[in-house]
Amino acid sequence: MVTYAAPLEDIRFGLYDLWDYEARVAALPGYEDASRDVVDAVLEEAAKLCVNELLPLNRSGDEEGCRFENGIVRTPSGFKEAYRTFADGGWCGLSCDPAYGGQGLPKTLQFIVEELICSTNLSFGTYPGLSHGAYNALALHGTDAQKALYLPKLVDGSWSGTMCLTEPQCGTDLGLIRTRAVPNGAAGPDGSPAYRITGTKIFISAGEHDLTENILHLVLAKLPDAPPGTKGISLFLVPKFLVRPDGTPGPRNGVACGAIEHKMGIKASSTCVMNFEDAEGYLVGRPHGGMRAMFTMMNTARLAVGLQGLGLAETAYQSAVAYARERLQGRALRGPRAPDKPADPILVHPDVRRMLLTMRATIEGTRALALWIGTEVDIAERHPDPARRQAADDLVALMTPIIKAYGTDMGFEATNLGVQVFGGHGYIREHGMEQLVRDARIAQLYEGTNGIQALDLVGRKLPRHMGRLLRRFFHPVLAFIEDHQGEAELAEFVLPLAKAFGRLQQATAWVAQQGLRDPEEAGAAASDYLRLFALVALAYMWALSAKTVLKVPQEERSAFHHAKLATARFYMARVLPQTSSLFAAIHAGAKPIMALEENWF
């Protein structure tokens, strides 16, 4: 079994010391009761829930998997009981509106709890995670009657939600969907017009299961008068069981699971083929406005998926450290460190330390970045100044593809490094490391592959509003460099950041100029550019972290503070230099990629 304890000390450092939660979030309208004491209590309880209830089911859930029997999906042993504990504890409605039974706590706190869940049982986390996305879409785009009827059930966890996008012939290119919606002349329980939904959706996470009494499917489909492409997509709510006007489940709707996928990882999460045959559904939002409504779910999900990579990486790191302390192999290069033992712990070896520090530096940097964006999500929603809300929304939009893509790439890399630290013992099931690798792999694929995230960054986010989104990141980084470049104590952190930031500025100009001339140039550079951007963003996090620690008087610094500074130095010296090779690859242009004739592959 893997080793895991919730990294609350690092979370609190990022939340309170780095991002000043009390001034930036707790002071927002509606969050007055979300004090530091409340947040700390919630985090302690979340850690207990995840470690005591979810972690013990992680390996058994992977080994047992979901079962598909006569059209019914059964989750692994213990999942129903754990879900009931989860829902009864109010965790489904942590950041939901109190008007619908939620606790109304900040989205930042939701971010943190999602990381803890993913660290302990990613498969379990997909069920409430999809429901939370459905809640967000309905809360923003549903009618008042729809919200009153459906949201309380999602909040209390008695019902769950999905998003049904993908079809056999289309994934990213949703304009190709064939699912149809035809008015049936009746009205739904909320009074809105009803439609007959017909089509097949695949890869639907949590599409069918036995955890809740009803499932609300949010389905993309096309009306008879739909224009071609994505402009003709509408969003419909299709319940598994039709809902009576009093809110209780009624007869079975025309939606059924046709099969579940047999997957590489997250085997306790049901990934379903869903068949809709004249199923009754209700329009969410305006006709042909489905993509806008669905992106409400997808953008939330993309940030959450980035946290999946972070969570799995943390578990891999803690497990690898515990193993490296205990595993005796060879002697330290400078002589025995444990002369009373037959060999030294592998923690003494430079290459093992390189792997562990790479994991630690990228994990803690990514967590700091996620906490920054989490606080900005709350600011974008609640700040009284419209200009500040817009600035926060811009930054969240810019950083969403970066957190999703880099967070999941980092998660897969870190879990693989964890296996490497274990050596052959990591490759077998006993220690649980190979499951982390398998579970981490999907996060680079769903909610838009990481290549799509890179295209979104260079094709949509950089040029939007004449570069306004980009300035939301560039300006604070530049201001930090200018404010601290003359401080000797910070020089080892600020100077590497300044050099890497200069590369990012030059690469941005190159991508913009070449992309206007030839879109394939931007496409060829996109993935390298996103990683370059992410590494610079993490360098900014580490420079801020170093500054924060250095403000603590020397005599008051704990082992945590000293380790934070040492890890910051490692990142700047051993990870950030990757920006040089990425910069060179970007400037190599599209020709080396596109020159090979198609029939030569």
Domain that holds residue 130: 8-141
Query: Are residues 198 and 112 located together in one domain of the fold?
Result: no
Per-residue pLDDT, 51: 98
Residue 192 and residue 122 in one domain: no
Residue 324 covered by a domain: no
Domain containing residue 79: CATH number: 1.10.540.10
Residues assigned a catalytic role? 447
**Of 141, 172, 207, which residue is a domain's last?**
141
Same-domain status, 136 and 182: no
What is the reported pLDDT for 245? 87
For residues 165 and 243, membership in a common domain is answered with yes
pTM beyond 0.85: yes
Distance (Å, whole) CA 426 – CA 235:
44
The Cα–Cα gap between 211 and 280 comes to 22
pLDDT of residue 414: 98
The answer to whether residue 554 sits within a structural domain is yes
Evaluate whether residue 317 is within a structural domain: no
Q: Are residues 44 and 170 in the same domain?
A: no
Of the three residues 244, 264, 290, the one that is the final residue of a domain is 290
Is residue 376 in some structural domain? no
Q: Which residues of the chain have pLDDT under 50?
A: none
* HSE-up (13 A, CA, CB side) for residue 188: 27
What is the 3-state secondary structure of 359-413? HHHHHHHHHHHHHHHHHHHHHHHHCCCHHHHHHHHHHHHHHHHHHHHHHHHHHHH
CA–CA distance, 254 with 239 (Å, rounded to integer): 9
DSSP secondary structure string for all residues of 563-582: HHHHHHHHIIIIITTHHHHH
> Is position 193 within any domain?
yes
Q: Is residue 592 located within the same domain as residue 468?
A: yes
- CA distances (Å), origin 302, targets 296, 431, 448, 471, 592: 10, 29, 8, 22, 31
Of 141, 175, 197, which one is at a domain's C-terminal end?
141
Number of structural domains found in the chain: 3
The secondary structure element, H or E, covering residue 87 is: helix 79-88
Tell whether 349 is covered by a domain: no
pLDDT at res. 149: 96
Residue 282: phi, psi to the nearest 5? -135, 135
The pLDDT value recorded for residue 292 is 82
Beta bridge partners, 187, equal 193
CATH number of residue 169's parent domain: 2.40.110.20
Residue pLDDT, tens place only, 199-242: 999 999 999 999 999 999 999 999 999 999 889 999 999 999 99
Q: Are 323 and 431 in contact (CB under 8 A)?
A: yes
